[in-house]
Amino acid sequence: MARDLEVRHCRALVALHDGGGVGAAARALGDAQSTLSETLLSLERLIGVPVTVRRIGREATLTAAAEAILPHARALIATSEAALAATASQMLATIQIGTVESVSSFLLPAPLRDFRSRWPHVDVRITIGLCEDLRRRVARSELDAALTIEGADRETGGEGGWPARLALVVAPGHPLAGAELGRPNLASHAFLLADPEGAFNGLMKSWLGRSGLPRLESAGSVDGVKRGLSTSDAIGVLPDYAVAEELAAGKLVAVKSADPLPAIALRLTTRDTPQPASALGSLVAGIRDALGLGACPTGESAARPLPFRSASGNLSE
């Protein structure tokens, strides 16, 4: 059997010393005197010497051996209480995550489900917004983290590192279904995007702008784009993970571009590097595991998928 000093032993010693007697100590601990006496006997069996001495007409007091243990007992109690307090703060935490609609709908459900099974008392709240605004809200401590999409620099490896891509899609009966077009021919068509101020608008406008004035229309949501394609001759622009199911089922058909589409990357912005043992650190690790991204060591290229950026823009682990 393990011979360890238990917190109940420590509390009994401290209560006896501070209360001046078994009766007062038992009342302070909310125990019966018999329970306290048994705890003290258990401690005596553990250390092999008496912990109390009783003089005629006086309450029991601590022996010299027990007095020697007393400061360590107080320290052990303090450590136990600090550990419980730390656990309680985590269990009662609220994590505020900002992200875009497509990430919230198609990438976060699985890691969030796993996280909530492991941290059932942590309240995770998801806020949908524009990427730049979400990163600013992290800087103002209004959000704990922001998971956003931005353009990736092909030269620094952004395209190859993150498996997501932009997809051009149309309804099955569309004249361009399955076709491959160059950028000049694509630029003559209308494009349907989810958000009029989202990251993809700027990327597509820059990419198509070299071939003419692009016509970009907004459907208001990812689902709005998918539904809108059934009654429109526009080309839908969505991340590939948001249309994977429809493409596999033939409900939507890809339009191929002869020119590489703008590269995108997923970015995680936090004010500070999350501690691995914290709720936020656990959630971040779960997201990385679910997406097969692994860890990102400090100092790696900012174009690597899902690196941390501090609110000031610095890359962190």
Check residue 84 and give its pLDDT.
Answer: 79
Q: What pLDDT band is residue 90 in, cutting at 50, 70 and 90? A: low
Share of the chain above pLDDT 70, in %: 83
pLDDT higher than 60, residue 235: yes
Residue 239 main-chain phi, psi, to 5 deg: -65, 150
- What is the CATH code of the structural domain delimited by 7-89? 1.10.10.10
- What is the CATH code of the structural domain delimited by 166-257? 3.40.190.10
The residue with greater pLDDT, 79 or 310, is 79
Domain borders along the chain are 7-89, 94-155+264-316, 166-257
Give the number of residues written for the chain: 317
**pLDDT tens digits, residue range 137-191?**
999 989 999 988 888 754 433 333 355 789 999 999 999 999 999 988 888 889 9
Share of the chain above pLDDT 90, in %: 43
pLDDT higher than 50, residue 307: no
pLDDT higher than 50, residue 82: yes
Check residue 249 and give its pLDDT.
Answer: 95
Q: What pLDDT band is residue 304 in, cutting at 50, 70 and 90? A: very low
Mean of the per-residue pLDDT values for the chain? Answer: 82
pLDDT higher than 90, residue 229: yes
The residue with greater pLDDT, 299 or 191, is 191
**pLDDT tens digits, residue range 254-282?**
999 999 998 888 888 888 888 877 888 88
Check residue 293 and give its pLDDT.
Answer: 57
Please state the rounded mean pLDDT for residues 197-205.
85
Structure-token pair, residue 255: 């339009």
- What is the CATH code of the structural domain delimited by 94-155+264-316? 3.40.190.10
* Fold: same for 7-89 and 94-155+264-316: no
Check residue 267 and give its pLDDT.
Answer: 84
Strand ranges for the chain from DSSP E: 52-53, 61-62, 94-99, 123-128, 145-151, 166-170, 180-181, 190-193, 215-218, 235-239, 253-254, 256-257, 264-270, 308-309, 315-316
Check residue 292 and give its pLDDT.
Answer: 63
Check residue 56 and give its pLDDT.
Answer: 62
Check residue 199 and give its pLDDT.
Answer: 82
Say how far apart CA 242 and CA 166 lie, in whole Å.
10
Say how far apart CA 312 and CA 219 lie, in whole Å.
33
Beta bridge partners of 111: none
Q: What pLDDT band is residue 316 in, cutting at 50, 70 and 90? A: very low
Structure-token pair, residue 228: 């809108």
Please state the rounded mean pLDDT for residues 22-49.
90
pTM value is 0.62
**pLDDT tens digits, residue range 98-128?**
999 999 999 999 999 999 998 888 899 999 9
